[in-house]
Structures are given as structure tokens and as C-alpha cells.
Amino acid sequence: GYATVDHHRAIRTGMPEVIFGKGKTTEQILGIAERLLERASNVLVTRTNEEVAGRMKALYPEAEYFPACGALRVWRDRTMHGKGPLAVISAGTTDMPVALEAVVTAEVMGNDVDQIHDVGVAGIHRLFGNLDRITKARVIVVCAGMEGALPSAVGGLVSCPVIAVPTSVGYGASFHGLAALLGMLNSCASNVSVVNIDNGFGGGYVASLINRL
């Protein structure tokens, strides 16, 4: 067999089992998922495709597939673990796949997710129009590409932790998300920490852990 499966963590913490789909064959993903689902209630597969989704749905009719971001979710135990609203904010329409990966992750980890999209820094009034929802959140995930300035703007408006997810949206000197990543790492807002480019999963995961505290 291939991947050594470690059930204990999931059982212990009530967290979903997660399979990173990229670079794995359909058979590998299905094999791992089946073994996991013998014991785990919830399984999340990220970066997968229609073929895997079809095969999974045949086996587990409750499986949900999110084609915009390639996430696949078996969400059987829907216990809420988050202690308050977890917001996922995105800058532009094209950042939504990454934001969706964060949303799908945070939901399957037992959070009530509030989504706020298309509120980029160049139209800062749109951010202010959602100030109520933003300040209500206990923890916030912010997804932005291009110059990646949104986490700083959000971070300056709230006093809760902000997880910044740079996206590879952009072209030219965005260098596939590098500009956004560097911007976020240099955020002048002190409440910002950062995960990998396009890592909506990581953003949703870290925020979910924080929201359980």
C-alpha cells in the first residue's frame, strides 16, 4: 500500500481527515478515502476532479463536489465546533475559487461561515458596507491576489486574528501570487499571519482551529 493512514488524530480531535488530491491517481485517492471513511465521519479531498467526484458519489451519495475549487467533501458529522462566526472575505470574483476552498474546509470543521466577496481595496467603500459582519467575526480568512492589500485593510478594522491567503490571480508582475504573498507578509496590520499562495484549505483550517479555542 501507499499512504500510511493515521486515524488517531481525527478520532481524538473530531477533525476531518484530509486528502491532498493533486498528484495522486484516482485509484490512490479512492483507496485512501475508503479506508479513512471506515472510521472517520468526515473526509475532505482538495484539488481533485470530476472523475474522482463521480466515483466517490457512486460510493458515498452524500459526497459533495465543488467544481470551482476542486474540493470534495463527505460531511456526515455536522457538529459545530466554532465558538462564533468565521468570516471568509475575498477581493475579486476571480479569487473566489480559493475562498471557496477555505469555506468548504471551515464548514466541514464545524464552523458557521460568513462569506463576503468582491470587496477589493480599490473600492474600499464596499468593505465598509460590510463593517457589521466583519467586526462580528471571531476570526477572519482574507483571500486576495494581485497586490494582496485586502488583509491589511481588514486587519486595521478588527482586533481578531486575520489569516491571509494570497492567490495566484493576476498576471505579469504578480508572478503567480508572489506579489500578493510578499504584500501580506509585510502587512502593517499586526494581526495578520499568512499561508501559502492559493492555500484556501490552510486558511480555513488555521481559522477553524482558532475558532475552537
Q: Give the one residue of 96, 103, 104, 108 binding a copy of itself; rule: CB under 8 A.
A: 96
70 binds, among ligand AMP, Mg ion, a copy of itself, none (CB under 5 to 8 A by kind): none
126 binds, among Mg ion, ligand AMP, a copy of itself, none (CB under 5 to 8 A by kind): a copy of itself
Least distance (Å) from Mg ion to the CB of residue 59? 29
Give whichever of 62 and 135 is closer to a copy of itself, judged by the CB atom.
135
Q: Does 79 sit near a copy of itself (CB under 8 A)?
A: no
46 binds, among ligand AMP, a copy of itself, Mg ion, none (CB under 5 to 8 A by kind): ligand AMP
Contact yes or no for 21/45 (Cβ under 8 A): yes
Residue type, 8: H
Q: Which residue has the cell 500510511?
A: 4
Q: Give the one residue of 88, 104, 117, 140 binding a copy of itself; rule: CB under 8 A.
A: 117
Contact yes or no for 52/29 (Cβ under 8 A): yes
Residue partners of 203: CB distance under 8 A and separation at least 6? 88, 102, 105, 141, 143, 163, 164, 165, 195
CA distances from 18 to 153, 168, 183, 184 (A): 31, 23, 29, 26
Least distance (Å) from Mg ion to the CB of residue 194? 8
Give whichever of 23 and 61 is closer to a copy of itself, judged by the CB atom.
23
E-strand stretches of 57-170: 64-66, 71-75, 86-90, 113-116, 139-144, 162-166
User: Which residue(s) pair with 74 in the sheet?
Assistant: 43
Helix axes 96-108, 200-212, angle to 10 degrees: 40
Least distance (Å) from a copy of itself to the CB of residue 56? 18
The three grid cell numbers given for residue 143, joined into one nine-digit string: 483571500
Q: Does 2 sit near a copy of itself (CB under 8 A)?
A: yes
Q: Does 198 sit near a copy of itself (CB under 8 A)?
A: yes
Q: Which residues bind ligand AMP (CB under 6 A)?
A: 3, 18-20, 46-47, 92-93, 190, 199, 201-202
138 binds, among Mg ion, a copy of itself, ligand AMP, none (CB under 5 to 8 A by kind): a copy of itself
Least distance (Å) from ligand AMP to the CB of residue 202? 5
